[in-house]
A and B are shown apart, each in its own frame.
Chain A
């Protein structure tokens, strides 16, 4: 991870200009994933542009049309513990706090969280074939140890999963990603931000080189009455999800008016199912209905040698998390299954 220049950007425009210097130039904010990958020689760069000192993107502000705007350079911890997030968007708070560790959440930024790379073992090991790291080299995970890999939306090129927890909640909350770049500003719906692997698994998302995430908008609806985040993993904390679920329900007299169910740890992006959510609309909030939704969401899921359990696990996790959303106060630290 040597031989790069380091500079601090003072404005977004300055940052965007600086990153044009070369195709290998990179922004750094929290650095928790980028510096890690640089140490493993998975990512190399010739220029690091530090955006932490760009002012104006470190806070939460209310938007005129309702909803709020999360600064991209604000840390995950500050976001999760912000009173507005805790009170109006507790699902987001819960999801953030289920990820990584307190130290990493103090460093990692909201923009950076969206740009995490997969935790696939083979992606991290530069001595094994990996289409995501080295297009055309092959996928070692398909015939390898694939316990942590995808069951939905995978391709013959890549079965890696996207590791974020925060993004699972953002997908459920239908956030919007605001981007600045050499050709001006634009916004993407959250579900359009990350990509499925297809034939180009090396491209994680629809951000182009030179573009930077400046903020994330949340619509006014925060589902603060009925929400839950559940994370299932190989230890109780500080591990990536095998399956996670964000559930947000709007209920009226026990009837589901609106539902959002997003899965993490199962696909190349946070996974939502329009069919599943549509099914639930107008139905009673019962275990039976949640069980049927789970079946719909997992339609088309396919496992590999070591991860087929994720299909049944995801179904059960959806049911449990929907039940937990009926009583959000029963949630446990670390998004563990409640008693």
Chain B
């Protein structure tokens, strides 16, 4: 994995200096040179080269940047990378294995649960987090608990169909 964009050392004052931020991303330890104000989302996309996590609003209002942090779904745009040192981050690139898609990924394809695909990584990471939580009893619960992930293409019913299929299989 490429570590990109190490900023010109001269370009900052000492007190805000770059620090090495160790992040465990998809099972690998990555040391990024970051300033404190770099969000986890930007750290993933611009510094760790993992562009699967998407920026749809940068303000916690769309869910496109959802990743799993120690197994829980969070919004990577509303947290600083430095705040997640040593946490286990899973992004869409770490979902499933090299040889086999995660059941949710398969279900999303089968149910045509996306159109433009931009919200998809966030929807899938969020759905994994939701199934881990184990709080959804039925379709109405799933809809409510997935409402933090917007889909502008209007694939909503297909997304929920895909999640329900996997949820019912794993019970």
Interface residues of A (CB under 8 A from B): 1-6, 28, 30-32, 35-36, 39-40, 48, 50, 52, 77, 81, 100-104, 106-107, 236-238, 332-334
Contact A36 B78 (CB under 8 A): yes
Contact B83 A31 (CB under 8 A): yes
Any A CB within 8 A of the CB of B73: yes
27 contacts between A and B (CB under 8 A): A1-B37, A2-B35, A2-B37, A5-B15, A5-B16, A6-B36, A6-B80, A28-B80, A31-B78, A31-B79, A32-B75, A36-B60, A36-B78, A39-B59, A48-B36, A50-B82, A81-B133, A81-B135, A102-B148, A103-B73, A104-B60, A104-B75, A106-B72, A107-B75, A237-B144, A332-B140, A334-B147
Contact B60 A52 (CB under 8 A): no
Give complex CA distance A334, B146 in Å: 11
Which of chain B's residues have a CB closer than 8 A to the CB of A237?
Answer: 143-144, 147
Give complex CA distance A103, B78 in Å: 10
Q: Known A-B contacts: A31-B80, A106-B74, A237-B144. Give 12 more (CB < 8 A).
A: A3-B37, A6-B80, A28-B80, A35-B80, A36-B60, A100-B148, A102-B129, A104-B60, A104-B148, A106-B73, A106-B129, A333-B145
B11-48 interface with A by 8 A CB criterion: 13, 15-16, 35-37, 39
Contact A36 B59 (CB under 8 A): yes
Give complex CA distance A222, B126 in Å: 32
Contact A102 B60 (CB under 8 A): no
Cβ contacts B48-66/A at 8 Å (1 or 0 each): 0000000000111001001
Contact A333 B140 (CB under 8 A): yes
Q: How many interface residues does chain B have, given as a range?
A: 35 or more
Any A CB within 8 A of the CB of B141: yes
Interface residues of B (CB under 8 A from A): 13, 15-16, 35-37, 39, 58-60, 63, 66, 72-75, 78-80, 82-83, 126, 129-130, 133, 135, 140-141, 143-150
Give complex CA distance A52, B87 in Å: 12
Give complex CA distance A46, B74 in Å: 26
Give complex CA distance A334, B63 in Å: 17
Query: Could you tell me the distance in whole angstroms from the C-beta of A203 to the nearest C-beta in chain B?
Result: 25
Which of chain B's residues have a CB closer than 8 A to the CB of A40?
Answer: 59
Which of chain B's residues have a CB closer than 8 A to the CB of A32?
Answer: 60, 75, 78
Contact B148 A238 (CB under 8 A): yes
The 7 A-B pairs of least Cβ separation, nearest first, read A101-B148, A237-B147, A6-B36, A333-B144, A334-B144, A106-B72, A238-B147
Given contacts A3-B16, A36-B60, contact A103 B80 (CB under 8 A): no
Query: Could you tell me the distance in whole angstroms from the C-beta of B144 to the nearest C-beta in chain A?
Result: 4
Which of chain A's residues have a CB closer than 8 A to the CB of B75?
Answer: 32, 103-104, 107
